[in-house]
Chains A and B, each alone.
Chain A
Amino acid sequence: MLDQVVFYFFAVLAVASAILVVTRRNAVQSAIFLVTALLATAGIFLNLNAEFLFIVQVILYAGGIMVLFVFVIMLVNIDVALHQVQFNRQWFVALIITAVLAAQVVAAIAVSRGSLYTMPAAPAGTLEPNTERVAFVLFHTYMLPFEIASILLLVAMVGAVVMAKKRV
Chain B
Amino acid sequence: MVPIGHYIFLSAALLAIGTVGIVTRRNVIIILMSIELILNAVNINLVAFSRLVGSVEGQIFAIFIITDAAAEAAVGLGIIIAFFRNRETVLADEMDILKW
How does the 8 Å CB contact mask read for A128-168 relative to B, with 1 for contact and 0 for none? 00100110011001100100010011011101111110100
User: Which residue from chain B places its CB closest to the CB of A93 in the assembled complex?
Assistant: B23
Interface size on B, residues (CB 8 A): 71
**Does B98 make an interface contact (CB < 8 A)?**
no
Question: In the complex, are the beta carbons of A160 and B10 less than 8 A apart?
Answer: no
Question: In the complex, are the beta carbons of A48 and B47 less than 8 A apart?
Answer: yes
Residues on B with C-beta less than 8 A from A88 are 24-26, 92-93
Question: In the complex, are the beta carbons of A164 and B81 less than 8 A apart?
Answer: yes
Give the size range of A's interface with the partner.
35 or more
Question: In the complex, are the beta carbons of A91 and B24 less than 8 A apart?
Answer: yes
Question: In the complex, are the beta carbons of A22 and B91 less than 8 A apart?
Answer: no
Closest CB-CB distance, A30 to chain B, in whole Å?
5
Question: In the complex, are the beta carbons of A119 and B52 less than 8 A apart?
Answer: yes
Question: In the complex, are the beta carbons of A149 and B33 less than 8 A apart?
Answer: no
Residues on B with C-beta less than 8 A from A91 are 23-24
Question: In the complex, are the beta carbons of A50 and B77 less than 8 A apart?
Answer: no
Residues on A with C-beta less than 8 A from B90 are 76, 81
The residues of B with any CB-CB pair to A shorter than 8 Å are 1-10, 12-21, 23-27, 29-30, 32-34, 36-37, 40, 43-44, 47-48, 50-54, 56-57, 59-60, 62-64, 66-75, 77-82, 84-85, 90-93
25 residue pairs from A and B, CB less than 8 Å apart: A22-B20, A30-B33, A31-B33, A57-B43, A64-B70, A69-B77, A76-B80, A81-B91, A87-B24, A97-B23, A98-B23, A101-B19, A105-B15, A106-B12, A117-B3, A121-B52, A122-B51, A127-B51, A127-B54, A134-B56, A155-B71, A159-B74, A160-B74, A160-B78, A163-B75
